[in-house]
Amino acid sequence: MMNIMHPALRRLDLNLLPVFDAIYRHRSVRLAADELAMSTSALSHALSRLRMTLNDPLFFREGHRMSPSVYAAQLAPSIASALSFLNQELTPQPEFDAASSTESLQIGITDFTALCIFPALMHKLQAAAPGLRFELRYLPHSPALTELLAGEVDLALGFSTPEESRHPELEEIGWFEDEYVVICNARRTRLTLEDYLVARHLVVTPWNEKQGVLDVRLEQLGYTRHIAIKTPSMLSAPFIVAESDLLMAIPRYAAEKLVAAAELRIFALPFSIPRFEVKIYSHKRSGQRGATRWLQEALQMLVQNSIKASTAAGGSRREGRVI
């Protein structure tokens, strides 16, 4: 036999509970009706239905007052508590106000997204949303599917890969694209395809992947390269490159940031490859939060106003020069 959940509630019109609560507090049908914006006859009818459902008189008229029965007195605290809790929990969520919010957002990142985005983002938010807090978590993989589905992160800023398949519960926003360039030590004066292929390379593999998109593309062209070192972190990479003969292919915007930290040159990648793409991933559930939506819009605006302009201006100015 099928179990019926909440059998007592199924036979009770829950709209009658505020009627009970109001009569109990006011000890008056008239005052209870005024509070609930009901006519006294409608409230009396509701009380009759409640008496019938609970099989108890609930209230007795004593002079001008409605006195509770023993059963009503037992029910009253629980009904008042339940109504208070439901009223609090079911109150519509207020519109997100960035200026006053103290919410905490969990963001899945890589070295690249942290380096390229968060300095500018925190500069912007120190005035627009000074109380908003972030917990940055390194992505164990992209697009952090497991973490987003489990609600462990609100947003993930990750790379798009050609073999990536869309999950029906995830929302993805194309955030920005960039071209690959090559950084090297300041002593190099040219970079042809032949130079690139005979050189040794440093490759950043944030998820310890076996093969990157550049190596897939080189195989398609019939080439291979000599990878001398793989590292999951971009933090040490520019300093290793600056002190060695290693080459490192990297999105231009990151390269423009890194040349300020080490003596490097930037060269165009000497073969064609699709542009580097970063997406904002969110779960359709968490993505509906006001704070999450606001941050997505702030990130997109940041890209429009900062990254694209900087990349366009910096590309022709710094190509092949020591910075």
Could you read off the pLDDT tens digit of each residue along the chain, which spans 323 residues?
A: 445 656 666 778 889 999 999 999 999 999 999 999 999 999 999 999 999 999 999 999 998 899 999 999 999 999 999 999 998 888 777 788 999 999 999 998 888 888 888 888 999 899 999 999 999 988 776 667 778 878 888 988 877 655 556 677 788 888 888 899 999 999 999 999 999 999 999 999 887 778 888 999 999 999 999 999 999 888 889 999 999 999 999 999 889 988 888 999 999 999 999 998 888 888 877 655 788 889 999 998 888 776 555 545 544 444 443 33
Q: Model's pTM, two decimal places?
A: 0.67
Task: For domain 7-89, give the fold.
Answer: Arc Repressor Mutant, subunit A (1.10.10)
Alpha-carbon distances of 5 from 8, 11, 207, 285, rounded to whole Å: 9, 11, 46, 26
Distance, CA of 264 to CA of 241 (rounded, Å): 8
Contacts of 257 (CB under 8 A, 6+ apart): 115, 116
What is the chain's length? 323
Same fold, 7-89 and 104-178+277-315: no
Amino acid letter for position 275: R
Instruction: Based on DSSP, count helices (H) and strands (E) in the chain, helices before strands.
Output: 13, 12
Phi, psi of 283 (to 5 degrees): -80, 145
Q: CATH number of 180-274: 3.40.190.10, 3.40.50.20, 3.40.50.720, 3.90.600.10?
A: 3.40.190.10
Write out the two tokens for 57.
């008189």
Domain ranges of the chain: 7-89, 104-178+277-315, 180-274
Q: CATH number of 104-178+277-315: 3.30.420.280, 1.20.120.340, 2.30.30.60, 3.40.190.10?
A: 3.40.190.10
Tell me if residue 270 falls in helix, strand or coil. Answer: coil
